Homo-oligomer: A and B are copies of this chain.
């Protein structure tokens, strides 16, 4: 699964020895711009200007606004990838596929910690909640809705997301047992029908 940890430059030119500093400066400028203007209104050019770098360089390193956002907020999963891998595939097995994807993703080093950090920040800071809201609506819900082709595709996608968020909270933040220690094999048959119901149009 792709994560947003690294900027994944299209090629390494080695021309910029100050790359790490530049990256840090860019991410700081991005966080400031997203915080000040929200996800929708934040501009790549404004971020480049604030960071004192060329807009072309910004695109070279981060590709697009969603990737820059994910890097700046250490967003652990790329919505595009979820839509392509999970939602755009065979509808009859979307529930199992999503449950497998999610439970596997959380076992990858760092992914869960970053997701929980974002949830905590959103739960306590309205500004972060608003950024998450705009990002999720633009990058996940709109894309998923286009793929689903069911009635109320946005509501269904968001209910799926609400189960993901709640599972993370109950299993990892509150940590109720036996949920906290349940294996992937135990959770999969219980979670898959929920996701299937929301996304499969059962």
Tell me the A residues contacting B by CB distance below 8 Å.
119-120, 122-124, 129-130, 132-133, 136-137, 141, 152, 154-156, 158-159, 161-167, 169-171, 173-179, 182, 186-187, 190-191, 193-194, 197-198, 202
Contacts and interface: CB of A to CB of B under 8 A. Distances in A.
Contacts of A193: 197, 202
Contacts of A156: 190
Copies of this chain assembled into the complex: 2
A98 to B, nearest CB: 14
A99 to B, nearest CB: 11
Contacts of A122: 169, 173-174
A158 B129 contact: no
B167 A133 contact: no
A107 B57 CA distance: 50
Contacts of A163: 162-163, 166, 194
Contacts of A174: 122, 129, 132-133, 136, 165
